[in-house]
Amino acid sequence: INTSGSSSPWSRVIMEKPYGRDLDSAQELNRIVGEVLGEDQVYRIDHYLGKETVQNILVARFGNTIFEPLWNRKYVDHIQITAAEAIGVEGRGRFYDQTGVIRDMVQSHLLQVLSLCTMEAPLSFAADDIRDKRVEVLRSLRQITGSQVFEDVIFGQYRGYRDEANVAADSRTPTYTAMKCFIDNWRWQGVPFFLRVGKQLRARMTEVSVVFRPVPLCLFGRDEVCQQLESNVLTIRIQPDEGIDLKIVSKRAGDSLDVR
């Protein structure tokens, strides 16, 4: 860019993740790019943020009055974020074996979605204001360290992964992980967040499920009815069938008192 004379103030460069392999390499890449372009000319992106339903998360939260009063530890029991892929590494064996599921999906895509679901309201919809609130909530993520890793994190590898081209025969690179996280701030203290992601799973599906707390008291008098009561769930479907669903409890049609 620099040698071609294309680094004029109107030039823009979009850089998609992975942006370096670790903090040191990312900082070095920043330094090199900064020698050629100004910060306002560089756009570092995660393509998950381009998905229509991901872009809709903030609009659903802050464009509708019904959600915000409930969007906190008083009413939310837990939140699940799932990214399931039916495919394997698809010819990317060398890259994936050096990267693994944490670098490939968790620290990028899933944390981006988590931050949008949990951030405070920004001052405006400007990029810098949204970024600041996302950084704020990510800084509140509780670190999983020591023996807690064995309690809150599961790793797995799909059968046949070691037979993929350019994958080490004794590879221990995980292709699946499930973990429980917490955000230590006023809004979310004590609410668990369950992140799940993996390859070669039963179906391709990415979604966020906000599971609300159960009712404090069953008023319907019959044990079998009370046992049928389930939590309300707001599901944000990112792919393949994009949309937002709200699950509520209602009475079944008929003379008897049955709920669904």
pLDDT tens for 184-243 read 999 999 999 999 999 999 999 999 999 999 888 777 766 666 777 788 999 999 999 999
Q: Do 29 and 157 share a domain, yes or no?
A: no
Last residue of a domain, one of 30, 45, 60: 45
Q: Do 39 and 53 share a domain, yes or no?
A: no
Q: Pairing mode, if any, of strands 76-84 and 192-198?
A: parallel
- Residue 143 domain flag: yes
Contact 79, 71 (CB under 8 A): no
- Residue 146 domain flag: yes
CA 61, distance to chain mean position in Å, is 16
- Residue 253 domain flag: no
- Residue 259 domain flag: no
Q: Do 107 and 203 share a domain, yes or no?
A: yes
The whole-angstrom separation of Cα 57 and Cα 168 is 39
**pLDDT tens digits for 55-82?**
899 999 999 999 999 999 999 999 999 9
Q: Do 72 and 130 share a domain, yes or no?
A: yes
Short-list 155, 195, 194, 160, CA closest to 175? 155
Q: What are the φ and ψ backbone dihedral angles of 176, each rounded to 5 degrees?
A: -145, 145
Q: Report pLDDT for 229.
A: 76
- Residue 101 domain flag: yes
- Asked if residue 84 has pLDDT above 70, the reply is yes
Q: Do 37 and 24 share a domain, yes or no?
A: yes
- Residue 203 domain flag: yes
Q: Residue 197 — left, alpha, or beta (φ > 0 → left; ψ -120 to 50 → alpha)?
A: beta
* Secondary structure (3-state) at 77: strand
The whole-angstrom separation of Cα 228 and Cα 2 is 66
Average pLDDT in the chain: 89
- Asked if residue 5 has pLDDT above 70, the reply is no
Q: Do 193 and 210 share a domain, yes or no?
A: yes
Q: Do 131 and 37 share a domain, yes or no?
A: no
Token digits for 46? 């995660």
8-state DSSP, 90: T
- Residue 258 domain flag: no
Q: Where does the chain show beta strands of DSSP type E?
A: 13-16, 42-45, 76-84, 153-156, 176-182, 192-198, 205-212, 233-239, 243-247
Q: Do 34 and 89 share a domain, yes or no?
A: no
Q: Do 86 and 189 share a domain, yes or no?
A: yes
The count of structural domains within the chain is 2
Q: Do 41 and 55 share a domain, yes or no?
A: no
Q: Do 29 and 150 share a domain, yes or no?
A: no
Residue span of the structural domain in which 112 resides: 48-247
- Residue 255 domain flag: no
Confidence of residue 255 (pLDDT cuts 50, 70, 90): low
CATH of the domain at 200: 3.30.360.10
The catalytic residue positions are: 109
Q: Do 155 and 241 share a domain, yes or no?
A: yes
